[in-house]
Amino acid sequence: DSASVSPNFWPRRRVGIEHLHVQQVFNDYSPVAADSPYDYQLYMRGVRFQRCVDCWMHAVRVNGTGESPIWNQYTKHNSFTDCVFSHTFYPYRGSTGYALFGGAAQDVLTDNCTFHELRHVDMQSSTAGSVMRRAHMRLADPQSHQGFSIENLWELNFFDTRQGGIWYDHLVDYSASSGTYWQGMFCEHGSDFGTVGHTPACGPRWVFWGNEAI
């Protein structure tokens, strides 16, 4: 049947990862030019959830990845609880160094997770009905980053964007963009659409409640 959908695009259901430590190890930690990410030996993500429904991560630690520690895209009813995502070796260009919880994702819960030394903690690209709560972010700025996301809740999160430390010095020395934007919360308005292709990020009915930024 020419109208049928390939099994490769059927969503995976009810699959979880728990109590796992993922770490990417390099032999050479020297930085590369900001426009040459593939010079790293392994330019890879830690964990990727894509086209899955009712899936979860619990008590997982992803420490050190060539690119992004967690990438959640085209999903529904997923949850991420009590996880730690820290340190990316390459946070220098768009779509690198992200903890992405919404790339066209719906009804995603992220609760009591820690983020450290990342470019962005992000909901974007038509994410809807998702919740980020009780997160601790240090040198990992929260973002709503293009794509008309709607009806999302950020509550009881702590954002520490103070500059300093080894990772910050590494970014200043080797990145034209300085990696993270050092913002307490950033919601893109889309004024650069046509130059970098970003559409406005925050659609209607976003709620920010009880968050703290320093």
Task: Report pLDDT digits (tens) over 25-39.
Answer: 764 545 444 445 445
**DSSP 8-state assignment for residue 146:** S
Of 66-70, 154-158, 179-183, 198-202, which range is least confident?
179-183
Yes or no: say if 97 and 66 are a contact pair by the CB < 8 Å rule: no
For the chain, what is the mean pLDDT?
75
Q: What are phi and psi of 38, to 5 degrees?
A: -80, 0
Residue 85 has pLDDT above 60, yes or no: yes
Residue 7 dihedral angles phi and psi, to the nearest 5°: -55, -20
What is the model's pLDDT at position 174?
Answer: 35
Task: Show the tokens assigned to 103.
Answer: 């790339």
Residue 167: pLDDT band by 50, 70, 90 thresholds?
very low
The answer to pTM > 0.85 is no
The helix (H) or strand (E) run that includes residue 210 is none
Q: What are phi and psi of 174, to 5 degrees?
A: -125, 5
Whole-angstrom Cα distance, residue 211 to residue 200? 23
> How much is the average pLDDT of 172-196?
50
Strands (E), 125-209: 131-133, 136-138, 141-144, 153-155, 158-160, 186-187, 207-209
β-strand partners of 100? 71, 122
How far lies 206's CA from each of 41, 100, 128, 149, in Å?
Answer: 40, 18, 9, 9
